[in-house]
Amino acid sequence: MTAFSLNPEQTARCDRLRELAEERLRPLAEAHAEAHAETYADKKEPGRVNRPLTEALGELGLLEGLFTSGALDLCLMRESLARVCTEAETALALQGLGAHPVHAYGSLEQREHWLPPTRAGRAIAAFALSEPGAGSDAAALALRAEPDGSGGWRLTGEKSWISNAPEADFYTVFARTSPDAGARGVTAFLVPADRPGLTGAPLDMLSPHPIGTLAFDGVRVSTADVLGDVNHGFRVAMTTLNRFRPSVGAFAVGMAQAALDATLAHTADRDAFGGKLKDLQAVSHQVAEMATRTEAARLLVYAAAAAYDRDEPDIAGRAAMAKLFATETAQFVVDTAVQLHGARALRRGHLLEHLYREVRAPRIYEGASEVQRAVIAKELYGKETPSA
């Protein structure tokens, strides 16, 4: 293992993924955007699940990779796709986030029923943790799971900002089975979308991301629907996030790299003040800064993912550092890229206009930057305090 460069086989796989994204996936993302073109007018059509795109990810074997690859390979997949097609990247990631709890904690029946269609891209998965009153403070979640008198429960309450809702085919739902028990009173359930009493609505967000609310009106679940153990669902949520947080960083690195590539091309080509833009030190130093920070973020992401694959003890903190640094870096890089391009970058449909909208949410979802700092600090102070 080198610290840290990819081997030729990994580099070739990333190149191939970018080609596939270019040839097979981006046209499907563009066709979907075209079909929902009102999104770009003032009609504000919310983002919708792109089923043909998800099925293509299945046909290309990329969804299979979600369940067979290590965390580093997952990062390489997400970074490569993000450089070319953020919609494909996100569709892939959401299948992973929603289905990982089933893969890691599901019974044989649950896995056999749901994982093959999820891998094929025919069943859409979603991870339902956040609530109107519990976002960063996930242990405060209040969706009630009340005993139904026959060994099962009835779910009552709301979830919000759930990616792929309300169109997903199944949800990994975190509900409160023990009142007043905080993180120790949460249970994870696999809830098929067609359960009576489950409804939802799409939300219109800054970027065309499929996301919505869910309402549970006495939805019945049984012991066969539990993922893991009763009252141990918080662990299911946290370990899923440990796996995915470095890869959110990889998504951010992919977007930063795409913005950097566009900026290199533009500043080398654009005439200004009797030369090219890149001849201005104010410009070239900004580009150097963008490249340096992107590379630092990439290394932190790869290192956190490799630590996860080696099952090292301080995974939560390293995953948090990777996600924090990469998402904040991508925001800086994309914003600087917009600045160096000028007005053209803000035109609807420009790559950077798209990235500018896409880059904001990852600083919030799967644990806001403030939560990542809290996780890092907790781990630092939990360790033996060094003597002064």
Task: Tell me which residues touch ligand COS (CB under 6 A).
Answer: 127, 129-130, 136-139, 183-184, 234-235, 238-239, 241-242, 316, 365-367, 371, 374-375
129/260 with CB nearer ligand COS: 129
| Pairwise CA distance, residues 355 & 332, whole Å | 12
Tokens representing residue 362 in the block: 């990852």
Q: How far is the CB of 186 from ligand COS (least distance, A)?
A: 9
Helix (H) or strand (E) holding 262, with range, is helix 233-269
What does each C-alpha distance from 317 to 313, 368, 377 come to in angstroms?
Answer: 9, 14, 8
Nearest-approach distance from CB 104 to ligand COS, in angstroms: 12
Q: Are 190 and 170 in contact (CB under 8 A)?
A: yes
Cβ distance to ligand COS smaller for residue 184 or 270? 184
Whether 328 is catalytic is: no
**Token pair 């790299």: residue:** 257
Nearer to ligand COS, 156 or 231 (CB): 231
The distance of closest approach from Cβ of residue 241 to ligand COS in the complex, given in angstroms and rounded to an integer, is 5
Cα–Cα distance for residue pair 329/301, rounded to 1 Å? 12
Q: What are phi and psi of 290, to 5 degrees?
A: -60, -45
- Contacts with 210 (C-beta within 8 Å, 6 or more apart), sequence order: 46, 47, 48, 49, 50, 94, 163, 164, 165, 167, 202
- For the bound state, the minimum distance from the C-beta of residue 216 to ligand COS, rounded and expressed in Å, comes to 17
Q: How far is the CB of 245 from ligand COS (least distance, A)?
A: 8
Using the minimum distance from each CB to ligand COS, give the nearer residue, 127 or 153: 127
Of 158, 366, 370, 384, which residue is the catalytic one?
366
Residues with Cβ within 8 Å of 273's Cβ and at least 6 positions away in sequence, in order, are 280
User: How is 305-329 classified by DSSP, letter by letter?
Assistant: HHHHHTT-TTHHHHHHHHHHHHHHH
User: Cβ closer to ligand COS: 118 or 164?
Assistant: 164
How far is Cα 173 from Cα 175, in angstroms, rounded to an integer?
6
Query: Distance (Å, rounded) from C-alpha 324 to C-alpha 269?
Result: 33
- Shortest Å distance, C-beta 319 to ligand COS: 7
* Closer to ligand COS by Cβ: residue 33 or 139: 139
Could you tell me which of 38, 11, 25 has the C-alpha nearest to residue 302?
Answer: 11
Q: Which amino acids are annotated catalytic?
A: 366
